[in-house]
Amino acid sequence: MGVSEPPHTTILIQADAIAARVMALAAEIAQDYAGRELHLVGVMRGALYFLADLSRALQAEDAGALTFDWIELSSYRGGTESTGNVEVTRDLIDPVDGRHVLVIEDIVDSGHTMTFLVALLQARGAATVEVCALLDKPARRRAPNLQVRYIGFRIEDQFVLGYGMDLDERHRALPYIAVVAAKPE
Ligand code: IMP
Ligand code: MG
């Protein structure tokens, strides 16, 4: 039995296209971080599969010492748009001071969440902080100073789900990324 498809969606990015892009990102990251120990910080819960696949692709690139940790953030949403009021709802386990941190995020929308997290990691003394996002919605950006170093795919202003991303906590385990036909309120 296959994965049941949620209603009113169309596939935007197939599983094999995600896998190919993850491999290419891993090759680029491994080259950039050659000779440095890389510490991935995954943002729960949406980055679950992206971090799982990317970290294994990095291992296959023989990227050297590789560690990862998780943080969960919540951002108050006024309607569909997040605000700058971001909170840590589950914190990291390991300290980041002196480490080369690469944040692994599912999607950058307004950019408020990543702006908050980059500042937090810098304040905690990380040696370097960069962001790797599977998806980017540049049309929605409200934080112009945010630098996203690695981007899997740039997409239009559409609500997406699958491959870790949810609609009301559902559909995260779909192997592909789908677009919701009508935007949720
Ligand atoms: P930002 O702070 O506006 O950049 O919000 C980023 C967060 O909003 C991401 O970590 C996602 O959890 C969530 N998000 C934004 N757009 C989507 C989407 O299209 N589908 C699922 N989650 C989304
Ligand atoms: Mg998220």
pLDDT tens for each residue of 71-99: 999 976 666 667 678 999 999 999 999 99
pTM: 0.92
Rg (CA), the chain: 16
Round the average pLDDT of the chain to a whole number and report it.
Answer: 92
Of the candidates 73, 70, 74, the one whose C-alpha atom is nearest the C-alpha of residue 103 is 70
% of the chain surpassing 90 pLDDT: 83
Domains located in the chain, CATH noted: 13-178 (3.40.50.2020)
Q: Indicate whether residue 143 lines ligand 1 (CB < 6 A).
A: no
Of the candidates 20, 33, 68, the one whose C-alpha atom is nearest the C-alpha of residue 48 is 68
| Interatomic CA distance for residues 114 and 118, integer angstroms | 6
| Interatomic CA distance for residues 165 and 177, integer angstroms | 8
In this predicted structure, what is the pLDDT of residue 111?
96
Per-residue pLDDT band at 67 (split at 50, 70, 90): very high
Ligand 1 centroid to Cα of residue 64, in Å, is 31
pLDDT at 185 over 80: no
Of the candidates 146, 176, 171, the one whose C-alpha atom is nearest the C-alpha of residue 6 is 171
**Looking at ligand 1, which atom is closest to the CA of residue 142?**
3
Helices 48-60 & 15-32 angle (0-180, nearest 10): 60
Ligand 1 centroid to Cα of residue 34, in Å, is 31
* Helix or strand (DSSP H, E) at 48: helix 48-60
Non-local (6+) Cβ contacts of 92 within 8 A are: 41, 69, 70, 71
109 is catalytic: yes
- Tell me the β-bridge partners of 44: 72
Of the candidates 92, 97, 104, the one whose C-alpha atom is nearest the C-alpha of residue 126 is 97
Ligand 1 centroid to Cα of residue 108, in Å, is 6
Give the 3-state secondary structure of residue 67. strand
| Interatomic CA distance for residues 70 and 94, integer angstroms | 9
